Amino acid sequence: MTHPIARVALPIPLDKNFDYLIKSNMTPVIGGRVLVPFGRQRLVGIVVAIGNDSDFPIQQLKPIQQVLDNQPLWQPPLFGLLKWASSYYQYPLGDALANAMPALLRKGREASTATLKYWQLTDTGREQPLNGLKRAPKQAQILNLLRHGPLSHDALLADDVSSATLKTVMQKGWIVEQQQQPKQLQWQPQFAITEQKPRLNEEQALAIATVNSNPGFGCYLLDGVTGSGKTEVYLNLLEPILAAGKQALILVPEIGLTPQTINRFKRRFNVPLETVHSGLNDSERMTAWLAGRDNQAGIIIGTRSALFTPFADLGIIIVDEEHDASYKQQDSLRYHARDLAVMRANKENIPIVLGSATPALETLHNAQTGKYHYLTLSKRAGNASAARHGVIDVKGLYLNAGLSAPLIAEMRKHLNAGNQVMLFLNRRGFSPAMMCHECGWIAECTRCDAYYTLHQQSGELRCHHCATQRPIMHQCQQCGSTQLLPVGVGTEQLEAQLAELFPEFKTVRIDRDSTRRKGSLENYLEAIKNNEYQILIGTQMLAKGHHFPNVTLVALIDVDSALFSNDFRASERLAQLFIQVAGRAGRASKPGSVLLQTHHPEHQLLQSLLHKGYGVFSQAALTERRQALLPPFTHLVLLRAEANDSDQVCQFLQQVRAIFEASPVYDQDCCVLGPNPAPLARRAGRFRWQLILQIPNRNKLQQILTIAKPAIQLLPLAKKIRWSIDVEPQDLT
């Protein structure tokens, strides 16, 4: 007798799916969620197949407990993309699918707006005097938070309110629950262009016509200098799509999702727009997901993970700043959102536009080999002008917190003229350590092969790799001397030094630490615009997407660490940073200049970048990559492994190497490098090793991994060691 059986992908780190019986009163669907027993737990899984047989005896199968969806969560193109990503990036399907769902769906909530619970004040709640609640500060907090209007349950929980307190306040009759009514808004009839459009220049018009003349899938690289009008091209491409009632997805880098960007789209079109980014709480995320699926949003703008938003009728994908490193996810499903976006456009049979002033070498290569169409905007739109640039040879010069005397003099000139100055520091290799002046000993983390970073303000030594911290010591641990000095330059030290050098000017530091709080980046940017600060210190973050018309001098303080890095992408990143800052400094009436400090002004890549521009630089860099058999001419797979026992890690990777080499598809074009110690060879007490697999083509790469992974999992050491596979890694540390 046959029995209907569902194969279910579960959110667990195993590369297999599980079979469950379908009871006669149930109608699960492929791509929909079910609740199933698993050991002693109950898990929410996704049905991936329905059939009549199982590899297991039917008597041993358990039945599905509950069917949660009567229609698939994803249309076939997106569901297909997720399955492809799971296999290409070697990440279990159940986990990959769970990653692509809002948390509320993972928890089993209904996939509709009815699932979003809101709280609002009642009239009695509104009249409660808050100072009467001194003994119940949490209750007062709730009333205060709701004073400005209803908030979702999840938003309140995110604000450190507990469900229990909410219940208490509800029982007092001060707040009531409010269900979101499912909206059924039709935005299409209201579609309109709501601002005056600029007249397109010839290159813009050509780019737009090229995309519009090819129906269906096509991938277009829009290579245009900063300010050349790429965004204007995107807006024009969206117009016929939205007018036809279709939706648009716009991906931006993590730091590019600024109110400025969002407002340009809002100003142009009268269509509902949603944003998707890591700062959303559970219900906001769910709202955006549903808005895409139910066609309640015409435009969705978001960072990396927005790629997995379902759409009722997607018409185009734009990836802005496509070279940006934040498109690669660095843990769990290690996908590259730009690459997956191209794949999605292909499956949806729609156009995709990759825009950048400094395209990734991979993307340029794809355009040169004809895989992507190449579109260019060579002139700046409007009336901006290009920045001047120069090199300061710092060989033998005294550096004051990393600044040479010529740079300090130049800064003074610009500051005295009433302009702003921006200084860039690479994060890596730039933190101050503590050194003994007598014997040269440097305070080192006891758990990592790394020096402690000195945080003068908090009086601590902190390891940035394992988060260990300890008070600043006063004696050298090697010779006992008390002459301990900070060495190296960190942003904190630079800031202190600038205050001494330029007491009359105010300095602001923009990096991940100083902008952690929601909204603080916007506040800083606003303050900079209003000239409240004159000296800006920044990392990569400051370079992206922000235009500061009063900044007339930009300096890259340490170019050498990128030119001589052991990461083969470092010089590409430096070039991108340089072009970005050069493109944003100054304006027509106040031309900007960019200065680079280096010990190696003669460096060939630096020379071609400075004198011939990114186009020539990228050709030279591509030639180097070709000769070194590096991406895009080969594809890399990085196996990371770590454990407390160094020998075991090395031995494990040797066995992995043997598995690769024994693969029936492995041939003389393939190559395995290592095992080698990772650039950071020890972290948090664990020894870290790497193995790199180099393969000329993607299909072969996938074949080798698909055969190798189950074999690796069977190695006895695989259970003792923490290891991961990173397909096409962006970061080799």
Contacts to Zn ion by CB under 5 A = 436, 438-439, 441, 445, 447-448, 463, 465-466, 468, 476, 478-479, 481
CB of 226 to Zn ion, least distance (A): 39
Nearer to Zn ion, 417 or 680 (CB): 680
Nearer to Zn ion, 197 or 470 (CB): 470
- Does position 229 interact with ligand ADP (CB under 6 A)? The reply is yes
Nearer to Zn ion, 237 or 445 (CB): 445
- Residue 497 binding: pick among ligand ADP, Zn ion, none (C-beta 5-8 Å cut-off by kind): none
Whether 95 and 62 have beta carbons less than 8 Å apart is answered as no
Nearer to Zn ion, 105 or 476 (CB): 476
**How far is 9 from 559, CA to CA, in rounded Å?**
48
- Does position 262 interact with ligand ADP (CB under 6 A)? The reply is no
Phi, psi of 161 (to 5 degrees): -105, 140
Whether 92 and 14 have beta carbons less than 8 Å apart is answered as yes
The answer to whether 671 is a known ligand-binding residue is: no
- Residue 690 binding: pick among ligand ADP, Zn ion, none (C-beta 5-8 Å cut-off by kind): none
Record the tokens describing residue 352, joined without a space: 């995709």
Give the angle subtended at the CA of 557 by the CAs of 553 and 560, to the nearest 5°: 135
- Residue 531 binding: pick among Zn ion, ligand ADP, none (C-beta 5-8 Å cut-off by kind): none
Nearer to ligand ADP, 358 or 634 (CB): 358
Instruction: Give whole-number Cα distances, 295 to 69, 181, 314, in Å.
Output: 19, 16, 9
3-state secondary structure of 515: coil
- Does position 231 interact with ligand ADP (CB under 6 A)? The reply is yes
Give the angle subtended at the CA of 339 by the CAs of 335 and 340, to the nearest 5°: 65
CB of 264 to Zn ion, least distance (A): 43
**How far is 382 from 244, CA to CA, in rounded Å?**
30
- Residue 382 binding: pick among Zn ion, ligand ADP, none (C-beta 5-8 Å cut-off by kind): ligand ADP
Record the tokens describing residue 346, joined without a space: 């292909």
CB of 439 to Zn ion, least distance (A): 3
CB of 198 to ligand ADP, least distance (A): 3
Nearer to ligand ADP, 151 or 207 (CB): 207
Output Rg (C-alpha) for the chain, integer angstroms: 28
Instruction: Give whole-number Cα distances, 465 to 360, 460, 512, in Å.
Output: 28, 15, 15
Give the angle subtended at the CA of 545 by the CAs of 539 and 546, to the nearest 5°: 75
* Nearest one of 652, 632, 633 to 641, comparing CA atoms: 652
- Does position 201 interact with ligand ADP (CB under 6 A)? The reply is yes
Paired strand residues for 118: 152, 178
The answer to whether 650 is a known ligand-binding residue is: no
- Residue 632 binding: pick among Zn ion, ligand ADP, none (C-beta 5-8 Å cut-off by kind): none
CB of 686 to Zn ion, least distance (A): 10
The answer to whether 463 is a known ligand-binding residue is: yes
Nearer to ligand ADP, 36 or 241 (CB): 241
- Residue 454 binding: pick among Zn ion, ligand ADP, none (C-beta 5-8 Å cut-off by kind): none
Whether 633 and 627 have beta carbons less than 8 Å apart is answered as no
Nearer to ligand ADP, 230 or 344 (CB): 230
Nearer to Zn ion, 313 or 438 (CB): 438
In order, the DSSP letters of 389-428 are EEEEE-TT---BTTB-HHHHHHHHHHHHTT-EEEEE--ST
- What separation, in Å, do the N-terminal and C-terminal C-alpha atoms of the chain show? 56
- Does position 200 interact with ligand ADP (CB under 6 A)? The reply is yes
The answer to whether 436 is a known ligand-binding residue is: yes
The answer to whether 219 is a known ligand-binding residue is: no
Size of the site for ligand ADP (CB under 6 A): 15
CB of 547 to ligand ADP, least distance (A): 9
Instruction: Give whole-number Cα distances, 609 to 145, 424, 518, 614, in Å.
Output: 53, 18, 36, 6
Nearer to ligand ADP, 381 or 394 (CB): 381
- Residue 47 binding: pick among ligand ADP, Zn ion, none (C-beta 5-8 Å cut-off by kind): none
Site for ligand ADP in 131-150 (CB under 6 A): none
- Does position 153 interact with ligand ADP (CB under 6 A)? The reply is no
Three-state SS annotation for 351-378: EEEEEECCCCHHHHHHHHCCCCEEEEEC
In order, the DSSP letters of 7-35 are EEE-SSS-S--EEEEPPTT----TTSEEE
Site for ligand ADP in 610-639 (CB under 6 A): none
Q: Which of 11, 32, 94, 224 binds ligand ADP (CB under 6 A)?
A: 224
Instruction: Give whole-number Cα distances, 483 to 401, 438, 441, 442, 480, in Å.
Output: 19, 7, 11, 12, 9
Whether 288 and 280 have beta carbons less than 8 Å apart is answered as yes
Q: Which of 77, 227, 402, 631 binds ligand ADP (CB under 6 A)?
A: 227
CB of 374 to ligand ADP, least distance (A): 16
Q: Which of 86, 90, 228, 540 binds ligand ADP (CB under 6 A)?
A: 228
- Residue 441 binding: pick among ligand ADP, Zn ion, none (C-beta 5-8 Å cut-off by kind): Zn ion
Whether 621 and 571 have beta carbons less than 8 Å apart is answered as yes
Kindly tell me the burial class for residue 117, based on how many C-beta atoms sit within 10 Å of its own C-beta (0-12, 13-18, 19 or more). middle
Whether 381 and 647 have beta carbons less than 8 Å apart is answered as no
DSSP 332: S
CB of 200 to ligand ADP, least distance (A): 5
CB of 486 to Zn ion, least distance (A): 15
- Does position 382 interact with ligand ADP (CB under 6 A)? The reply is yes
**How far is 52 from 62, CA to CA, in rounded Å?**
14
CB of 378 to ligand ADP, least distance (A): 11
The answer to whether 670 is a known ligand-binding residue is: no
- Residue 436 binding: pick among Zn ion, ligand ADP, none (C-beta 5-8 Å cut-off by kind): Zn ion
**How far is 500 from 504, CA to CA, in rounded Å?**
9
* Nearest one of 692, 674, 672, 683 to 642, comparing CA atoms: 683
**How far is 689 from 640, CA to CA, in rounded Å?**
6
- Residue 191 binding: pick among Zn ion, ligand ADP, none (C-beta 5-8 Å cut-off by kind): none
CB of 647 to Zn ion, least distance (A): 21
CB of 590 to ligand ADP, least distance (A): 17
**How far is 637 from 587, CA to CA, in rounded Å?**
44
Paired strand residues for 42: 37
- Does position 397 interact with ligand ADP (CB under 6 A)? The reply is no
Record the tokens describing residue 519, joined without a space: 């909204």
Site for ligand ADP in 342-381 (CB under 6 A): 381
CB of 316 to Zn ion, least distance (A): 46
CB of 685 to Zn ion, least distance (A): 8
Whether 370 and 220 have beta carbons less than 8 Å apart is answered as no
Q: Which of 226, 295, 363, 493 binds ligand ADP (CB under 6 A)?
A: 226
Nearer to Zn ion, 61 or 684 (CB): 684
Nearer to Zn ion, 478 or 623 (CB): 478
- Does position 198 interact with ligand ADP (CB under 6 A)? The reply is yes
* Nearest one of 9, 731, 729, 708 to 339, comparing CA atoms: 729
- Does position 259 interact with ligand ADP (CB under 6 A)? The reply is no
Whether 429 and 421 have beta carbons less than 8 Å apart is answered as no
Three-state SS annotation for 620-664: HHHHHHHHCCCCCCCEEEEEEEEECCHHHHHHHHHHHHHHHHCCC
Binding residues: 436, 439, 445, 448, 463, 466, 476, 479
| Residues that bind ligand ADP in the complex, under the rule CB under 6 A | 198-201, 204, 224, 226-232, 381-382
Binding residues for Zn(2+): 436, 439, 445, 448, 463, 466, 476, 479
